[in-house]
Structure 1
Amino acid sequence: MSSFLPATTDSIALALEAKDPSEGISILYRVLGDPSSSPEALRMKEQAITNLTDLLRQENRAEDLRSLLTQLRPFFSLIPKAKTAKIVRGIIDSVAKIPGTSELQILLCKEMVQWTRDEKRTFLRQRVEARLATLLMETKEYSQALTLLNGLVKEVRRLDDKLLLVDIDLLESKLHFSLRNLPKAKAALTAARTAANAIYVPPAQQGAIDLQSGILHAEEKDYKTAYSYFFEAFESFNALEDPKAVFSLKYMLLCKIMVSQADDVAGIISSKAGLQYVGPDLDAMKAVADAHSKRSLKLFETALRDFKAQLEEDPIVHRHLSSLYDTLLEQNLCRLIEPFSRVEIAHIAELIELPIDHVERKMSQMILDKKFAGTLDQGAGCLVIFDDPKTDAIYPATLETISNVGKVVDSLFARSAKIMT
């Protein structure tokens, strides 16, 4: 029996008709073994590669996809560079769809970067390096990703490849945000927007820019602007049926909660667009909104416990909810201690339904932050609240007088300067 099959439509049809995926994969490998390099044979081989990539992905054979990319290198020298780039990126994307392959993807990208350097395929190398930087960021290898991007961004700016530049600037913004360097994150996002304004940007990429804009505005506590950006991102992703739509919607709901409009959350979820994405993420935000509306810390903690994956493990939501929890706790504590001049900490902890040590720690922090005047008598287990000290009116009056005298002196100096000239 021949070790290869001719690269024809019949051979590909034979692979598609195979009852067992393994048999289909074996037939397609034999089609790729056809030594013919006629235009028709090359076209059929391209089709075989696409089908083989899909089958290997369905079977979760990530290592086979990696070795396929190595095996195809002689074939890449026979086809145009643009087609090579499409095939390479398609195989890398397929590996990415197989769970638990982060390390393999990084290894695969590094191998391809080396091959593209040897073959002097600059266009493909830059895109694979951008993909590698994304993978390094996802695995929290921030310094490596940043080093790679710094070299890449200079090279791409020189070539003026605007579309790739948008991707790189956006990735750089996400990297700096992960490193908590907000000024650089904003600068990189502005650069991405500037590059995007000069070209046509695909809707998915525009959605990613809007999503990042919303995240940065939310970080600056400008939740109303952040909401509008998240809404734009949601519109883009929803039209494409992209899974990122649910995250945009989740962050929209977060913004509503943060500006004390938690009552709007249920309406957004029950809207036509919201109903498509009903699931744990939206249930988590609804639980937080209910807790916020009722100003109940107990319900808040229950929501955090029941929806840990959606709230605690999402760094963006977690950061904002931590701040919201602190505000809610302070408001509740201030309301509870208001009638007292001296009260047992255990009694306050019982009223607010939280552990005593947690309440005691929070109260000491509030006293240091001058949220109220008082002291903790830990020996007696009590909180002593002082009367608000009356501010002496003489100090502001003195400051105002000094300010007015300063203005008079400046005015006299200006007049004397005119006379002298």
Structure 2
Amino acid sequence: MPAAHDLEAAHALSKTAPAQAVETYKALLAASNGKSEDGIRAKETSITRLGELYRDLKKPDELAALIRSSHSFLLTVSKAKTAKIVRTLIDLFSDIPDSLPLQVEVCKETIQWAVSEKRIFLRQSLETRLCGLYLENKLYTESLALISTLLKELKRLDDKNVLVEVQLIESRVFHALKNLAKSRASLTSARTSANSIYCPPLMQAALDMQSGILHAEEKDYKTAFSYFYEALEGFSSQEDRRAVLALKYMLLCKIMANLAEDVHTIVNGKIAQKYTGSDIDAMRAVATAHEHRSLQEFEQALAKYKDELGNDPIVRSQLAALYDTLLEQNVLRIIEPFSRVEIAHVAALVKLPTAQVEAKLSQMILDKVLSGILDQGAGCLEVFEEQSADKTYEATLETIKQVGQVVESLYEKAGQLSA
């Protein structure tokens, strides 16, 4: 009971006096409680809570030291519980800024310890996490190499739970490499494996999220939206922080599908009301700019919410395409009444630098969106009149084809008469 009392005291101190709470947890870990069930349980709780405290205090080195010093104690608990504790502690690094290299280092060290202690399940779990860390670190070659080894082993052992997670990471790696065909294939394999077991809600939500991302890449925004909605419900039911990201992608799909007005309805809906913040505000600002067809508002939103819109590669690539389309529509509307117009005048109306507008006009001419020529000496755009297509060539080919068929028919009939 004293250990339980000390745990409660340390937990209370963690909110008011974190430094004292750290010392209390350390004392509990250093205490010699033998191998009693209560003593072991108290140490398990102390390790996890101390790790969370180091996370809140942004102390990655102390968290790494805690994991390394816990190896001897973890040998006294069950293998499944060891795997859960270690994985939880390593995942805590994710909330500490600039700690990714140290997280990779600690993960590798713990894998070596698991190998030496013949903890196969722990090793597989940590190697799966390491694949994800390689992906976050953009070490795609290392991630794919480790995934390939893991997949062979997991298929042989028929461990479907870990297999689903590894196949999902493989899909995400191929997506990061822009290999959508292989990304879809890996996701299909993950869904097939998931169908044969009980798939936990968080894993199912992660599968739905990846499905939505791939459909969005193919510009099938309606299907992508439905997958993101399923992911939002899954993450929300487990109070997972990825729910905000799923909601953000839902709003992105509505914007990309030219249904920006639906964004405000969704944000004010029951399931989305508890997810307020800068990410949702950013999507609302983009939706408003898109509704107004205003490039200036669009650029203001991109500048104001630089982190929210620029750091996410999926949002960034989709909004880049949207900005390009919006710019094209604005330029076409402005030059429509002219046969010759100054590029500087067009730039002033769209409120963008002249060089950027000139580059866009050049691209539109090459893509045959616009019929015209740039007179760079005079700084003008000459717009050609739309000429109706000459149908003579097509009509001539059709006539020749019909005459050929008539001649062949006559030739066959002549052959029948001569016979």
- With normalisation by structure 1, the TM-score equals 0.89
Match of residue 191 from structure 2:
193
* Unaligned ranges ≥5, structure 2: 411-419
CA deviations over 1:153-197 (Å, ceiling 9, x no partner): 111111111111111111111111111111111111111111111
The more displaced of 81-90 and 253-262 is 81-90
Match of residue 2 from structure 2:
10
**Whole-Å separation in 2 of the counterparts to 1:226 and 1:152:** 30
**Whole-Å separation in 1 of the counterparts to 2:408 and 2:201:** 58
Which of 386, 391, 394 matches 1:393? 391
| Cα shift at 1:121 | 1.4
CA deviations over 1:215-264 (Å, ceiling 9, x no partner): 10000011111111111111111222222111111111111111111111
Match of residue 90 from structure 1:
88
> 1:53–1:65: 8 Å Cα contact kept in structure 2?
yes
Q: How does 1:395-410 map to 2 (within 5 A)?
A: 395-400=393-398
Q: How does 1:112-127 map to 2 (within 5 A)?
A: 112-127=110-125
Match of residue 70 from structure 1:
68
Q: Partner letter of residue 350 of structure 2? A: I
Which of 308, 311, 332 matches 1:310? 308
Q: Give the direction of change, closer, same or farther, for the CA distance of 1:44–1:320 in structure 2 (3 Å limit).
A: closer
Which of 143, 146, 152 matches 1:145? 143
**Whole-Å separation in 1 of the counterparts to 2:207 and 2:404:** 50
Q: Give the direction of change, closer, same or farther, for the CA distance of 1:285–1:78 in structure 2 (3 Å limit).
A: closer
Match of residue 301 from structure 1:
299
**Whole-Å separation in 1 of the counterparts to 2:335 and 2:166:** 53
Q: Partner letter of residue 132 of structure 2? A: T
| Cα shift at 1:363 | 0.7
Give RMSD over aligned pairs: 2.7
> 1:162–1:195: 8 Å Cα contact kept in structure 2?
yes
**Whole-Å separation in 2 of the counterparts to 1:64 and 1:409:** 91
Secondary structure of the residue aligned to 2:341 is strand
| Cα shift at 1:349 | 1.7
The more displaced of 254-263 and 87-96 is 87-96
| Cα shift at 1:202 | 1.2
Which of 238, 251, 262 matches 2:236? 238
CA deviations over 1:293-344 (Å, ceiling 9, x no partner): 1211111111111111111222111111111111111111112112111112
> 1:11–1:27: 8 Å Cα contact kept in structure 2?
no
**Whole-Å separation in 1 of the counterparts to 2:396 and 2:174:** 46
Match of residue 200 from structure 2:
202
Report whether the alignment pairs 1:384 with 2:390.
no
Q: Give the direction of change, closer, same or farther, for the CA distance of 1:400–1:250 in structure 2 (3 Å limit).
A: farther
| Cα shift at 1:35 | 7.2
* Unaligned ranges ≥5, structure 1: 1-8, 413-421
**Whole-Å separation in 1 of the counterparts to 2:152 and 2:230:** 30
The more displaced of 26-35 and 64-73 is 26-35
| Cα shift at 1:11 | 3.5
- With normalisation by structure 2, the TM-score equals 0.89
Q: Give the direction of change, closer, same or farther, for the CA distance of 1:96–1:349 in structure 2 (3 Å limit).
A: closer
Q: Give the direction of change, closer, same or farther, for the CA distance of 1:280–1:393 in structure 2 (3 Å limit).
A: same
Match of residue 357 from structure 2:
359
Which of 265, 268, 288 matches 1:267? 265
Q: Give the direction of change, closer, same or farther, for the CA distance of 1:341–1:188 in structure 2 (3 Å limit).
A: same
Which of 165, 175, 199 matches 1:167? 165
CA deviations over 1:334-358 (Å, ceiling 9, x no partner): 1211211111212222222222111
Secondary structure of the residue aligned to 1:376 is strand
**Whole-Å separation in 1 of the counterparts to 2:401 and 2:340:** 42
Q: Give the direction of change, closer, same or farther, for the CA distance of 1:59–1:379 in structure 2 (3 Å limit).
A: closer
Which of 173, 180, 183 matches 1:182? 180
Residue correspondences, number: 407
| Cα shift at 1:100 | 2.9
| Cα shift at 1:270 | 1.5
**Whole-Å separation in 2 of the counterparts to 1:168 and 1:411:** 64
Q: Partner letter of residue 226 of structure 1? A: A
The more displaced of 222-231 and 57-66 is 57-66
Secondary structure of the residue aligned to 2:374 is strand
Which of 211, 222, 225 matches 2:223? 225
> 1:203–1:236: 8 Å Cα contact kept in structure 2?
yes
Q: Give the direction of change, closer, same or farther, for the CA distance of 1:405–1:273 in structure 2 (3 Å limit).
A: farther
| Cα shift at 1:400 | 4.3
> 1:16–1:24: 8 Å Cα contact kept in structure 2?
no
Secondary structure of the residue aligned to 1:88 is helix
Match of residue 102 from structure 1:
100
| Cα shift at 1:78 | 2.8
